[in-house]
A and B are shown apart, each in its own frame.
Chain A
Amino acid sequence: MATEARATADGPVTASEVMVTAASRELKDGEIAVVGIGLPMIACMLAKSTHAPGLTPLLEIGVADMHAVDTPAGLADPRIYYRATCWSGFLDTLGMSLHRGVVDVGFLGGLEVDRFGNSNTSLIKGPDGQTRWMNGSAGANDVASHAKRLMIILRHGKRKLPAAVSYLTSPGFPNGRSRQELGMRGGGPYRIITDMAVLGFDPTTHVAVMLSIHPGLKVQQVLDNTGFELHVPEGVPTTALPTNEELRLLREEIDPQRMFLRDKD
């Protein structure tokens, strides 16, 4: 990654920084976004500090437009409630915003995402088929079901992007079926953003396709790290690098302790 990337005074641009910046640029000014903790929130803060000051982030727990100054331990950490403009609850955010259909973007992480954008936050299965329960849905299914478009951010890997999820917690386009056919109102998956590439979905087959590859990587490297068959169009563009200002914001203001922006080994 570091080979082609532009070095700055504070070291080369990292894969995590490219990933979060790419995600941030998918958020538009004036939109309403329900964001998960961690990378989605970091990307949202970057968007708000740059091109989308009018973006309204919501937390499912019942928080609107927060301006956290300390890095939170999770969704239940008061650090993330700071300087919010509304404190309410699930009925308000998940119900009267998401279920009502006014949320433009649902933005989540995940344990696993497959080529139809189905995601799993419930459990993992061992090679022997044994089940190990994890967090479950919480608000993830609600966000994936009702947001006008869904973005998922996670680190690239064969097991993170399998042919089929171990458990379908939150539907994308199951078996390639359209959301309309499924009787769902939300638009479904729109982007999967990883530390290797940005993926979108074919409008007719609803299968994941590569939209851009992060700088310094070869297509084969990405395919070798993907558990499903990933379509790569000829001449796929390179993901844009973060600007100096985006890097400064990420490193000095948004995640100075590198709690979320640390690259995996």
Chain B
Amino acid sequence: MRSDSTVREEARVADKVKTIAEAVESVPDGAHIALGGFAIARNPIAFVHELIRKQKKNLIISQAVMGLDTDLLVGAGLVKKLIVGGGSLDRFGSINCVNRARDTGSVAAINSSSLSITFGYLAGALGISFIPIKSMMASEMLEVLDKEAPDYVRHGECPFTGEKYLMLRAITPDIAILHVPIADRKGNCWINGPQWENAEAAKAARRTILITEELVPTEYIQRSPERTIIPGHRVDMVVHQAYGAHPTSVFGSYDFDAQHLQLYVKHSKTPEGMKEYLDKYVFGTKDYWEYLEMVGGARMMDTIKAEAIWGY
């Protein structure tokens, strides 16, 4: 077995640009994946579709705020455990597949808060095994976690002041999957707009895979390196896929596709409807380009394209 550093060393010299199929091929069944979406923003949909087509099973998903990305994977029956803060599809509705799975207990869930997930990633990114936090105290989440997840949270106090804290176990995903607007072939990436827990998740993970709207020359990155959110030396693979987050938005690139989100929520309300959706849009298309054609192609892309000033 090779160590992480060996894997990284090789990744540095090899070309990191892969196809979606190649990147998904590198995901083993049972992998712990940190997904980079937030509700209906920058969800790595192209990657998620391919995970479903290739039937990657028994996945553990961690994420502060779940969106369409996690709902699709749970709806496809590929997730065994969630480590999450919350989730919704904003005004379009709930993450119905995830909520159904939590209601029936078909998926195990660590229900936490957004900051707790972020702190867990931060500890992972810093290489420390736990982190103290003052969130979740006196909540029912903690009551449940005390019983069900002693491997995730413990009670403790500051060794200097004696103040009460919760101790959260570091979260170290096998792979972080992020959708970004701009990256170069080395994986240096820029994100327009807020970044929620993307940087901490990527740096906590053993491997990071980016799906980027635009693949730019490194010289372009070098003109404004202060904009780099995740540097290339912490990225292992780069996939170039325009409109790869559809129907969720990518700030500065395109708006969410309201029509398709409505259509999705209509389907996701029942298991039968969800199966119909997956059969048509995921299993019924051989790749993401075919999916983009099915949901409206160039005309759809032009309709949701971001306006230069607004960014949406």
A residues near B (Cβ < 8 Å) are: 37, 59-63, 70, 73-79, 81-82, 87-91, 94-95, 98-99, 121-122, 130-142, 145-146, 167-171, 174, 177, 182-185
Cβ contact within 8 Å between A133 and B103: yes
Are A99's CB and B40's CB within 8 A?
Answer: no
B281 beta carbon closer than 8 Å to chain A: no
- Alpha-carbon gap, A182 to B206, bound state (A): 37
A142 close to B137 (CB less than 8 A): no
Smallest CB gap from A78: residue in B: B312
Q: Is the CB of B200 within 8 A of A184?
A: no
- Contact check, A168 vs B140: say whether CB atoms are below 8 A apart: yes
Q: Is the CB of B255 within 8 A of A138?
A: no
B85 within 8 A of A: yes
Closest to A170 in B: B139
Sample (30) of A-B pairs whose CB atoms are under 8 Å apart: A70-B310, A74-B40, A76-B40, A76-B67, A77-B256, A78-B193, A78-B311, A88-B194, A89-B198, A89-B199, A91-B197, A98-B115, A99-B134, A122-B141, A133-B98, A133-B102, A134-B99, A135-B87, A136-B84, A137-B111, A138-B113, A139-B85, A139-B115, A142-B113, A146-B135, A167-B140, A170-B139, A171-B138, A171-B139, A177-B138
Question: Which chain B residues border A184 with CB–CB below 8 Å?
Answer: 134, 137-138
Give Cα A73 to B99, complex, Å: 21
Do A76 and B39 touch (CB < 8 A)? yes
User: Taking each of B39, B84, B196, B251, which has the highest tally of chain A beta carbons within 10 Å of its own beta carbon?
Assistant: B196
Taking CB atoms and an 8 Å cut-off, the chain B residues in 294-311 that contact chain A are: 306, 310-311
Q: Which of B77-125 contact A (CB under 8 A)?
A: 84-88, 90-92, 94, 98-99, 102-103, 111-116, 118-119, 122
From B111, B114, B137, B141, residue with most partner A Cβ within 10 Å: B114
CA gap between A136 and B98 in the complex, in Å? 11
Q: Is the CB of A136 within 8 A of B111?
A: yes
B155 nearest CB neighbor, chain A only: A183
| Cβ contacts under 8 Å, B168 to chain A | none
Q: Are A133 and B255 closer than 8 Å at their CB atoms? A: no
Chain B hits for A98, CB < 8 A: 115
**Alpha-carbon gap, A61 to B113, bound state (A):** 13
Given the interface pairs A62-B195, A87-B194, A169-B140, the reply to whether A74 lies near B88 with Cβ below 8 Å is yes
| Known contacts A90-B197, A168-B140; A134 and B94 CB within 8 A of each other | yes
**Cβ of B113 and Cβ of A141 under 8 Å apart?**
yes
Which listed residue (B103, B133, B138, B310) contacts A99, Cβ 8 A?
Answer: B133
Q: Is B163 a contact partner of A183 (Cβ separation < 8 A)?
A: yes
Instruction: Determine whether B211 belongs to the interface, using a CB cutoff of 8 Å to chain A.
Output: no
Compute how far the CA of A146 lies from the CA of B138 in the bound complex, rounded to whole angstroms: 13
A77 to B88, CA, bound (A): 12
Asked if A174 and B85 sit within 8 Å, CB to CB, the answer is no
Interface of chain B residues 39 through 84 with chain A (CB within 8 A)? 39-41, 64-65, 67, 84
Residue from A88, A89, A167, A168 whose CB has the most chain B CB atoms within 10 Å: A89
Question: B256: which A residues are within 8 A, CB to CB?
Answer: 73, 77
CA distance A91 to B92 in the complex (A): 27
Return chain A residues, CB-CB under 8 Å to B200. Answer: 89, 91
